[in-house]
Chain A
Amino acid sequence: MSEFLAMGGYAWYVWGSYGVTFLLLLIEVVLLRNRSRQSETKT
């Protein structure tokens, strides 16, 4: 497991890429959900 997380010494690069990508997609979904709720209650 720790060997997998180490990514052969490239942990920061690999997990930095995947982590930020996942985080950004998550933020977009959450923001969109909020916007969706807001416009639903208005109409």
Chain B
Amino acid sequence: MKWFWYASPQTFYPVAGHIARWCAAAAALLAAAGLYVGFFVAPTDAQQGEAYRIIFIHVPAAWMSMFLYVVMALWAALGLALNTRLSGMMASALAPTGALFTFIALWTGSLWGRPTWGTYWVWDARLTSELVLLFLYLGFMALQAAIDDPRRADRAGAVLAIVGVVNIPIIHYSVVWWNTLHQGASVSVTRAPTMAATMLTGMLLMALAFWMYSIAVSLVRVRCIIRERGSS
């Protein structure tokens, strides 16, 4: 089977290098376009003034933080089920970038909340569950770092990652289930977005840039892991 052929670290290694290079270039171009639209095309918000421009990184970073966790858990689950070596390596490679985007989402949200809500932080359901996500990422990384045997570290991390997945729907639906200070979704698959088209364009361009960045960085990291495990 072709899929299993690529599941071998040795065959995946050069492929990952090629994809990483293209994604890095795409990330730079998309970020340039996104920043241009975000700062020079999108108009000033009538209520929030210029402070709203933070959402061009806040929302894409928050999306990435959740999406990367789901992908990480899927790789982890695949590794547990099929015992493929590459799966665990992919999960480990995604965790630091996921943690980074979670922190960025929290940080930028905080700086947006201060002028808009009047506070840097509140313990509402959305903010708290996103903070829990950061601890899940950090816990996953700490657990893996604490176990010397990489295969055992993969399995232990996988269990934690899979259990932690329950937090993802909690983050997503937190603004619906609880009465949060955080607003509901402005962009949804099922209905028209409640923001100006140019603002949405800027946000989607930044989201794509973060996607490409994440793919590039994770693939470079998985190549490091393949080399490190291969040499030891």
Contacts and interface: CB of A to CB of B under 8 A. Distances in A.
A14 B223 contact: no
Interface stretch (B65-73, B95-103, B138-146): B95-103
B54 A28 contact: no
A2 interface: no
B227 A13 contact: no
Interface string B192-232: 00000000000000000000010001001101100110110
Interface in A24-43: 24-25, 28-29, 32, 35-36, 39-40, 42-43
B61 A21 contact: yes
The secondary-structure label for the interface of chain B is: helix
A43 to B, nearest CB: 5
A8 B96 contact: no
A40 B228 CA distance: 9
Given A10-B50, A10-B115, A21-B61, A35 B231 contact: no
Interface of B: 39, 44, 49-51, 53-54, 57-58, 61, 96-97, 100, 103-104, 107-108, 111-112, 114-115, 213, 217, 220-221, 223-224, 227-228, 230-231
